[in-house]
Amino acid sequence: MTEIESFSRVGRPVSPLWTWITEFQQLYLPSLVDKGYLTNQELQTFLTWWERLDDDDGALLFAPPVLGVIGVKAS
């Protein structure tokens, strides 16, 4: 038997999902500057934008969908 299930999550500011994404960005995005994928100015522009969203009670975050897959090894 195999199963495939799709999971989608939506969060607003102060929800656990929003908080997780915010914390992840604070830890990970500076490494993109260090690697040259973002400039420091681009990072600061993004963080300023995110802070504005964080104060917007109407903001919604749609997390990327995740698939749960259960497979059976063929014999």
Residue 72: the pLDDT is: 87
Strand-strand pairing, 10-11 and 61-62 = antiparallel
Domain count, the chain: 1
Residue 46 resides in a domain: yes
> pLDDT digit of tens for each residue in the chain (75 aa)?
689 999 999 999 999 999 999 999 999 999 999 999 999 999 999 999 999 999 999 999 999 899 999 988 888
Residue 75 resides in a domain: no
Residue 75: the pLDDT is: 80
Residue 47, domain extent: 3-70
Decide: 62 and 12 in contact? Cβ < 8 Å: no
Tell me the Cα Rg of the chain. Answer: 17
The pTM of the full predicted model, rounded to 2 decimals, is 0.75
Residue 27: the pLDDT is: 96
Residue 54: the pLDDT is: 94
**CA gap 37, 60 in Å, rounded:** 26
**CA gap 13, 54 in Å, rounded:** 5
